[in-house]
Homo-oligomer: A and B are copies of this chain.
């Protein structure tokens, strides 16, 4: 088993930081107990993406928190990241595995239940079930799974499951009850007034649930 603790999985979004420096928000979230970070940049040049990912990686190293890169395997290599998170339209997982090696973390988004059997056959380390609920921070997403769909996803998946899309402190207890391995959040941390407290509250849910 690789070093991946998916419980409080932060997806970075510079725009969601409400004008604050995203790196400062991430630094504070790490203090609050983030367990994994995905760096997502849809607009930046590769070089800016690499620079930002390297900065995040540097922040995360002292906490032993792995950093994965959304979509771009080449950026992951260039930034010395711990892996990638891929969507259904991104680089195929098997190509990413060849490029990154066995020790890297590869996550895959699934947008509906019918994609899970295929995901089971792939050499990935977790799946992101996306979106659980409708959300404004990610565009062009599929129909939400809802809690019923999420429960079924957890049952069907042979990989650990991270819930993403509409995950926050209010929705998380219901999501945890579905048996997920991780809560992936964007604005619930990046946009929180107190990102450290928001993170530790999410972290505390895991303690309370004895998972």
Contact = CB atoms under 8 A, between A and B. Distances in A.
Copies in the complex: 2
Interface in A157-210: none
A87 B75 CA distance: 14
Given A48-B89, A50-B92, 11 more contacts: A45-B89, A46-B90, A46-B91, A47-B89, A72-B72, A74-B74, A74-B95, A77-B99, A78-B91, A78-B92, A78-B95
A71 B92 contact: no
Interface residues of A, number: 22
Interface in A89-103: 89-92, 95-96, 98-99
A73 interface: yes
A46 B91 CA distance: 6
Contacts of A99: 74, 77, 99
B72 A95 contact: no
Nearest to A79: B95
B48 A91 contact: no
Contacts of A74: 72-74, 91, 95-96, 99
A72 B78 CA distance: 12
A1 to B, nearest CB: 26
30 contacts: A45-B87, A45-B89, A45-B90, A46-B71, A46-B72, A46-B90, A46-B91, A47-B88, A47-B89, A47-B91, A47-B92, A48-B89, A50-B91, A50-B92, A72-B72, A72-B74, A73-B74, A73-B77, A74-B74, A74-B91, A74-B95, A74-B96, A75-B91, A77-B95, A77-B98, A77-B99, A78-B91, A78-B92, A78-B95, A99-B99
